[in-house]
A and B are shown apart, each in its own frame.
Chain A
Amino acid sequence: MTIPTKKKMAPAASKLYADDVSLLMVLIDTNPFFWNSINTSLSFSKFISNVLAFLNSILLLNQLNQVVVIATGYNSCDYIFDSSALQNHNQKGESLLQKLEEFVDKDESLCRDDSVDGPGFSLLSGSLSMALCYIQKVFRSGPLHPRPRILCLHGSPDGPGQYVAIMNAIFSAQRSMVPIDSCIIGAQHSAFLQQASYITSGIYLKPQLLDGLFQYLTTVFATDLHSRSFLQLPKPVGVDFRAACFCHKNTIDMGYICSVCLSIFCKHHKKCSTCGSVFGQAQTQDSSTPDRKRKTSVDN
């Protein structure tokens, strides 16, 4: 996929791609089980209409702004909208909704589960990777490109199985200096996205009033990255980086760390259960055991 705007504006690109031009990758959660389980305060149709209005306002903010929407489904994810690929500018919403329907069908056909307990997990790692791939492609298209950012409109709980993939995506985004903004529309906080936004210096927000989602989106997430540096946007109250011990899975403040593989334990073990290293005897008579490190949660 090439970027038509780039092609069209090629001669004047250097002037036109000012620092306030954005490429906004929007990841919308289309996990049907989540939308089915959520209470009526925000239905999917209402959510989509809010998002559509938001996308329109982004495109209105700057003529060169580009919006790409990726649907994060239960079994798959896909691009459902790309403002640069669209020929008919008057039917943005229509084309998005059509693609969305197709996507839902496809996602359903991939579904092999007979029934799903609870809201299920959406494939956030997949859509994050797709967004990053798209951004990489834009980066490689030439020296001049809009400044990309990722906005996750996420509601499903975090899928623990995706932890490593998501963390890798986060670090990849951090490396390419792409902020990941997150707007949590579900009932629970997302530890993944909290960390993602923290690490990539994006914004993490869990709106209190889902009725006013559009207002939240426009106030917090609409501004381009350049203007963002002049604004005061909500800051996270604190990210809990406390780790859980490998043995009992309790979140701990203080514990033992394997010197070989950095596994965390809440009490002294003779052998690391992760890497199998054999530890020496802890000096229990010493009141300040040297290998007992304190891990404190960050409060900022």
Chain B
Amino acid sequence: MADGQVMKRAKYKSSVKDPGVPGVLKMTRERFVFMPNDPNSSRKLNVEFRTIKGHKFTKEGSSRQALLNLTQEHGGNYILEFDSFADRDICREFVAAAIAFHGETGKATSEKPAAPLQGEQLSTAEMEHRIKLLQEDNELQMLHKQFVIGGILTEAEFWATRKKLLDQNDRRMPKQHVALKNEMWSVKPLSDGQSNRVTFNLTPEIILQIFAEKPAVRQAYLKCVPIKMSEKEFWTKYSRAEYLHSTKNVVAAAAEAAEDEELAIFLKQDDMLANEARRKIRRVDPTLDMEADVGDDYLHLLDHGLLREESKDVLDSQYEPYRRYFSQDLNQHAAVVLQGRVVDVELGDTRSVAEALARTKQAELANEASEGNSEIDLSHRISRIAEMDDLQGPRDPAVAHLCIKDPGDYFDSQQANALKALGDTGSGVKTLKCNVSPLEAYGSLRELVSEIRVRGLSEPITNPEVAFTVLSGLTQNISSTKYHLGKNPHESVLDSLPKVTREDLLHHWTSIQELLKHFWSSYPITTKYLYTKVTRLKDALSQVYPKLQEIKESVQSDFRHQVSLLVHPMLQALDAAFAHYDADVQKRSAKNGERTNGFV
């Protein structure tokens, strides 16, 4: 798999019922080749993956046969039967990766590359990447072997904590938003030159674009088809209107519109568009000053520099609704193209397309309405812009009032805690004389001072034996390995240990770290899954415990102290985890006692 090809024994079948031809299936990135065992057989296959559109497979256990069905772009399919499901699965993953590969690089036609492999399934590329990571890192491989194959962690859990490693080389492209064609649909009438017939070609793609760009047409379609007229009639009418526009004969268009009510809809300016335009203008930042931009060089040209032989002659106001401006069309087209394909329906059914578009439009409006306060916001902004800076008083910075508690009562308690944590034993041993009057206390202190003044220094100051004990105690304490630990990078305690012990220790340390990482990240336990995971991890951790003890006992007495120093923090980390686990279990059971419905 790693070298980019798969070879499996398989049978090629023309149908599911077909007994099939046994042979060998060989898959590479580009193509798959089936060679029958019988060299004379004509059922050879040599197909490029480029032509394969998708694949189906039988569920494990649901039927006896391990089948893989590769569907071709133009309807054909290849059914392959494998000896085992394991073989089939390897090939399936490979095929998925290959299809995805060609889907991405080849053409954008297959919109769902490798989509069936989401979730638990992994694409081959990802698998390969993981294997590569494991091969590169010996330690990682060991951990993987121990925990994933040992069943303590699942594959997903193991990699979940190493997302960074995985992401590094993951250059997979995000799914692209499909845009509309950036081409204005202008009617290109095909006239055959002989008759007066003009033909328009409408494809579903074009219809979608018309609907998106011209909401009035969409509305008219929903209203009229198929009650008032057939689909064909509708589009004929529309085409006629477009034709009239293309002739730029405004007067003729007005005349036609007066005769036909439906045609008028297409010929008149789009009311819905006008409404939307007004709504959009309202959203424009009030600070935008178009007058100020008048100097921009394209604006001094008439009609924004777009050359279009609009009729220069002045028309009566009654014809005004029938005029169309190129800049309007252009803007509307640009807006629709930028918005992209917002509906995700089959293009064939014109009605459903129209309905879907109408729905999205409505949703948009609803969203805007729910925002609601945009009006208020706008008025605020306008008033802020309108005001004159030098007439305003200083605006107070928005600061929350600072209220700070007396730190004393915090440190009060912290002190007691800190001392508790230090594990004092002395405090329990001696009894304090409580409630001493200052008179008594100072009196005794004075007495003691004068005692020295009278008697002088005691001779000797320290008992030689005591002094020796102190000195040897200090020396021993100082010379203990703890002090040397980590001081010198060249000579660590680990080096002095036997190789086996050393490796064991390092290995245990990494595995404990791995397990603890998972353990702590599972808290707080919110789901049943986490609960089982924690239990599993706890069991694994408790297995490490005796092993550490074993290591401690196995080493020679010379090293035992050092090893126990090394093992100590590991045990501490484990103990902390166990303590937390127990506390959590207790809390949980207490909670369960209260509420009988028992969560988790």
Is A163 an interface residue, CB under 8 A from the partner? yes
Known A240-B418, A287-B521: A212·B467 in contact at CB below 8 Å? yes
Tell me, yes or no, whether A255 is within 8 Å of chain B by CB. Answer: no
Which residues of B sit under 8 angstroms from A187, Cβ to Cβ?
Answer: 424, 426-427, 429-430
Q: Which residues of B contact A237 (CB under 8 A)?
A: 482
Which of A115, A157, A215, A233: most chain B Cβ within 10 A?
A215
A189 to B452, CA, bound (A): 28
Interface residues of B in 453-495 (CB under 8 A from A): 453, 455, 457-458, 461-463, 466-467, 469-471, 473-474, 477-479, 482-483
Q: Which residue of A lies closest to B442 (CB)?
A: A108
Is the C-beta of A45 less than 8 angstroms from some C-beta in chain B? yes
Interface size grouping (class) on chain A = 35 or more
Given A52-B457, A287-B530, the answer on whether A160 and B412 have CB atoms closer than 8 Å is: yes
CB of A201 to closest CB in B, whole Å: 15
Please indicate which of the listed interface residues B412, B470, B477, B520 has the most CB atoms of chain A within 10 Å of its own CB: B470
CB of B542 closer than 8 Å to a CB of A: no
- Interface pair A114/B441, CB less than 8 Å apart: no
Interface contact A104-B449, CB-CB below 8 Å: yes
Task: Knowing A244-B414, A249-B417, A287-B524, say if A216 contacts B426 (CB, 8 Å).
Answer: no
| A207 / chain B contacts, CB cutoff of 8 Å | 470
CB <8 Å contact, B408 and A161? yes
A288–B449 Cα distance when bound, in Å, is: 62
Q: What is A's interface to B at a CB cutoff of 8 Å?
A: 30, 32-33, 35-39, 43-46, 48-50, 52-53, 74, 93-94, 97-98, 100-101, 104-105, 107-108, 111, 113-119, 157-158, 160-161, 163-164, 186-189, 191, 194, 207-209, 211-216, 219-220, 232-235, 237, 240, 242-244, 246, 249-251, 253, 261, 273-277, 284-285, 287-289, 294, 299
Residues of B within 8 A of A208 (CB): 470, 473
Check if A277 sits within 8 Å of B521, measured CB to CB: no
Q: Is B592's beta carbon under 8 Å from chain A?
A: no
- Indicate which residue in B414, B421, B469 contacts A160 across the interface (CB closer than 8 Å): B414
B433: Cβ under 8 A from any A Cβ: yes
The one of A33, A213, A244 that contacts B417, using a Cβ cutoff of 8 Å: A244
Cα A163 to Cα B406 with chains together (Å):
12
What are the residues of chain B within 8 A of A45 when measuring CB–CB? 448-449, 451-452, 455
B414-A249 in contact (CB<8A): yes
A287 touching B452 in the complex, CB below 8 Å, given contacts A188-B427, A234-B474 = no
* Interchain nearest-CB distance for A257 vs B (Å): 14
A107→B442 contact, CB < 8 A? yes
Could you list 28 A-B pairs, sorted by A, with CB under 8 Å?
A32-B444, A32-B445, A39-B430, A43-B448, A52-B457, A104-B446, A113-B438, A114-B437, A116-B436, A118-B432, A158-B415, A163-B407, A163-B408, A187-B430, A188-B419, A188-B422, A191-B422, A194-B422, A209-B466, A209-B473, A215-B471, A216-B470, A235-B483, A240-B422, A251-B418, A274-B404, A285-B526, A299-B569
In the complex the two chains form, what is the Cα distance from A52 to B452 in whole Å? Answer: 11
Does B528 make an interface contact (CB < 8 A)?
no
Chain A residues whose C-beta falls within 8 Å of the C-beta of B438 in the assembled complex: 32, 74, 108, 111, 113-116
Are A276 and B418 interface neighbours, CB within 8 A? no
Q: Please tell me which stretch of B365-373, B395-403, B553-561 contacts chain A, meaning at least 4 of its Cβ atoms lie within 8 angstroms of it.
A: B395-403
A34: nearest chain-B partner, CB-CB: B441
Instruction: Report B-chain residues with C-beta under 8 Å of the C-beta of A161.
Output: 408, 411-412
Interface assignment of B377: CB less than 8 Å from any CB of chain A = no
**With known contacts A32-B444, A187-B430, A240-B422, A209–B414 Cβ distance under 8 A:** no
Q: Which of B414, B469, B522 has the most CB of A within 10 A?
A: B414
